[in-house]
Amino acid sequence: MSNFYEDIETKPAEKTFLDSSELILNMGPQHPSTHGVLRVILKLDGEKVLGTECVMGYLHRGVEKIAENRTYVQFNPYVDRMDYVAAVSNGLGYCLAVEKLLNTEAPPRAQYIRVIMTELNRIASHQVWLGTHALDIGALTPLFYTFRDREEILKIFEKYCGARLTTHAFRIGGTQYETYEGFEKDCLEFCDFFLPKCDEYEELLTTNRIWVERTKGVGVITGEECKALGVTGPVLRASGVRWDLRKAQPYSSYQDFDFEVPIGLNGDTFDRYIVRMQEMRQSVRIIRQAVEGLPEGPIMAKIPKVLKPPVGEVYVSIEAPKGELGYFIVSDGSTQPYRVRVRPPSFVNLQALDLMVRGRLVADVVAVIGTLDIVLGEIDR
Amino acid sequence: MPDETKPNDPTSPEAAKPAEPKAEEKPAPPAPAEAKPAAPATPKPAAPAAAAKPPAPTAPAKPAVPTPQPWETELTARLKKKYGSGIRETSTYLGQNYLVVDRSLAHEILEILRDDEDFDYCVDVTAVHYPKKEEPFEIVWILYSFPNNMRVRVKTALPEGAEIPSVFDLWPTVDWLEREVFDMFGIKFTGHPGLKRILLPDEWKGHPLRKDYSILQQDKEWVQINLGIESGQ
């Protein structure tokens, strides 16, 4: 992969691309199926992919640099702009990391509200994935279904915190807002509403012959390869590794809830699809339990108005919809973080693209980018 | 080990560990005299005992500021036996364990951690810039062990202009992560198969996450040539 350009440049000069069966093709940066501004340079032999090279950074905003120039509280809204389809998860990870640095914890009620919001966001994120992934492969309809139903989640977000996408729902030490009148009812109604919809999506795709042929055996990656490449989240689980940070190292009261971690066996695109569909159903289970068991009490821990975490460093990670999302924060004892490092799941997972498409067809590249579920805002930061 | 993952505190598997050895290791405090940079932690004898207790039940109520505590387990004992002063520090802070190692041993120790201690997943590679220190860069590897459900951070200090061996041969996942460290800090990893910028344009000058790089700073020349505007500000 790394010698890609050299290969091209060292080719004998008299040979033109017409003499060779190899072809260099740019996919992106503006391409509907790259899910943002991602450029993939493909080396092709006919329709066969010989190698890929990802070029990214088009959305680079220097989030980590901005963090060093803002206070802990001021930086909180910025994290929503990384993985913007799962903004709530980003916020949760950041708040947990700073709380760890302050050696404090959100009160139980805040933790439960966080779980409800995060799981709703997981469903919303998977819905965006499903709609766009199916669209890339040629199934147009699921997009309209998933975006229609995602609207219900966004309505809950809007009622709760006033924003639909970049929610900034949580604060360091808990949550800013108490639940609104009818929050529990809305959540439970959504659960009842959503499960049949989930079956509906599956009805459209799971037994659809075109879908099955485009996804079965495509982009296969084994559990060992996933671990070596640091791939986490549904991609890892679809390869047969039952590992979910919500179970392995529970945070924010996840140990209180009864849910399963679905896994796949073959590590192909179809298994990843099934795993994510199951995950949405498990999220519904968690939301139900969290709403029913929502404890009374304060929603904000006692933390000082001006945050000055003691000198030290922590790494805290959560299971975001796309994989392990980690924050490594170094404090020098001042009001601003000395260093914030975000470990973005999309960025690391995208590295597996080359392995998954090498030797396959161009059309599979589209399927594999979709199945990796990347968000460029998070890759480029 | 998996049973220990159940309790509330996500750090408990790690917190549980030091708790046990701590008792039998009471004679340890004098030993850490191995000239640690974090020596200020040890002078007050009351603090280690007091701080060692709280993590075990729950963290929320904490009276004093937490300080890094010595981290002594079989793992660190094995490493110390093998590398002696090459392991400069083994500590735990807020239930998170880390090793500070000599730069020349970093690759070897990471390999041992992967092969013998089952740290089969390299979560992240990053760096921190401390311009005032003699060795201004700190490289941090965050490792995770799937079999033991355990995390550890390995850190090493690096002077300006020095190179550090890449661990691409151990974990292919560090390919882009090391490229990002190179991009943002200008730290070179020897043995990396294709070390070049990843998020910034290839021709960009400067490494933005260095502390001497102002947030308003930019490569004006690049901006003028490639974007056709006077300045990005």
Q: Which residues of B touch A301 (CB under 8 A)?
A: 60
Q: What's the complex ipTM?
A: 0.83
- Choose from A348, A353, A374 for mutation: most chain B CBs within 10 A: A348
CB of A298 within 8 Å of a chain B CB? The answer is: no
Residues A154 and A87: beta-carbon distance below 8 Å: no
Same domain, A125 and A272: yes
Same domain, A206 and A355: yes
Instruction: Search chain B and give the residue with CA nearest A58.
Output: B199
Instruction: Search chain B and give the residue with CA nearest A339.
Output: B128
Q: What is the pLDDT of residue B225?
A: 83
Whether residue B61 lies inside any domain: the answer is: no
Residues A234 and A276: beta-carbon distance below 8 Å: yes
Q: In the numeric block, which tokens belong to residue A325? A: 């999302």
Rounded-to-10 torsion of CA B196, B199, B201, B205: -80
Q: Which residues of A touch B60 (CB under 8 A)?
A: 104-105, 301
User: Under an 8 A CB cutoff, do A64 and B209 touch?
Assistant: yes
Render pLDDT for A206-244 as a digit per residue (tens, 0 to 9). Answer: 888 889 988 888 889 998 889 889 899 999 999 989 899
CB of A61 within 8 Å of a chain B CB? The answer is: no
Indicate the range of A32-46, A63-77, A347-361 predicted with least confidence.
A32-46
Same domain, A104 and A39: no
Same domain, A90 and A220: yes
Q: Which residues of B touch A314 (CB under 8 A)?
A: 93-94, 96
Q: A84 φ, ψ to 5°?
A: -75, -10
A222 exposure class (CB count in 10 Å sphere: 0-12, 13-18, 19+) = middle
Show which of residues 189-218 on chain A sit within 8 Å of chain B, judged by CB atoms.
none
Domain holding A333, by residue range, is 63-380
Same domain, A173 and A24: no
Q: What is the pLDDT of residue A204?
A: 86
Q: Among A55, A74, A94, where does a domain finish?
A: A55
Whether residue B110 lies inside any domain: the answer is: yes
Q: Domain holding B175: CATH number?
A: 3.30.460.80
Same domain, A109 and A152: yes
Whether residue B62 lies inside any domain: the answer is: no
Q: Which residues of B touch A7 (CB under 8 A)?
A: none
CB of A325 within 8 Å of a chain B CB? The answer is: no
A32 exposure class (CB count in 10 Å sphere: 0-12, 13-18, 19+) = exposed
Whether residue B163 lies inside any domain: the answer is: yes
Q: What is the pLDDT of residue A115?
A: 92
- Choose from B138, B198, B211 for mutation: most chain A CBs within 10 A: B198
User: Under an 8 A CB cutoff, do A229 and B172 touch?
Assistant: yes
Q: Which residues of B touch A248 (CB under 8 A)?
A: 5, 149
Q: β-pairing, B150-158 with B96-101?
A: parallel
Q: What is the pLDDT of residue B181?
A: 92
- Choose from A96, A103, A340 for mutation: most chain B CBs within 10 A: A103
Same domain, A296 and A358: yes
Tens of pLDDT along chain B (233 residues) come to 444 444 444 444 444 444 444 334 444 344 433 444 444 444 444 444 444 444 444 444 445 677 888 887 888 788 788 877 778 888 888 888 888 888 888 888 888 888 888 888 999 999 999 988 888 999 999 999 988 888 999 999 988 888 899 998 888 989 899 999 999 998 999 888 888 889 888 888 889 988 888 888 888 788 888 888 877 76
Model pTM score: 0.80
Whether residue B213 lies inside any domain: the answer is: no
Same domain, A98 and A195: yes
Which of A40, A68, A23, A12 is CA-nearest to residue A369? A40
Same domain, A44 and A73: no
% pLDDT > 70, chain A: 94
Q: How far is B23 from chain A (nearest CA, A)?
A: 24
Q: Which residues of B touch A339 (CB under 8 A)?
A: 128-129, 209
Same domain, A304 and A345: yes
Q: What is the pLDDT of residue A16?
A: 56
Whether residue B130 lies inside any domain: the answer is: yes
Q: What is the pLDDT of residue A126?
A: 93
Q: What is the pLDDT of residue B103?
A: 86
Query: For chain A, what is the domain count?
Result: 2
Domain holding B29, by residue range, is 2-42+67-202
Q: Which residues of A touch B233 (CB under 8 A)?
A: none
User: Under an 8 A CB cutoff, do A56 and B8 touch?
Assistant: no
Same domain, A72 and A181: yes
The span from the CA of B72 to the CA of B144, in Å, is: 18
**What's the mean pLDDT in A299-305?**
86
Which of B5, B37, B19 is CA-nearest to residue B151? B5
Query: For chain B, what is the domain count?
Result: 1
Q: Which residues of A touch B173 (CB under 8 A)?
A: 228-231, 348, 351
Same domain, A303 and A235: yes
A26 exposure class (CB count in 10 Å sphere: 0-12, 13-18, 19+) = exposed
User: Under an 8 A CB cutoff, do A255 and B120 touch?
Assistant: no
Render pLDDT for A101-133 as a digit per residue (tens, 0 to 9). Answer: 888 889 999 999 999 999 999 999 999 999 999
Residues A32 and A367: beta-carbon distance below 8 Å: no
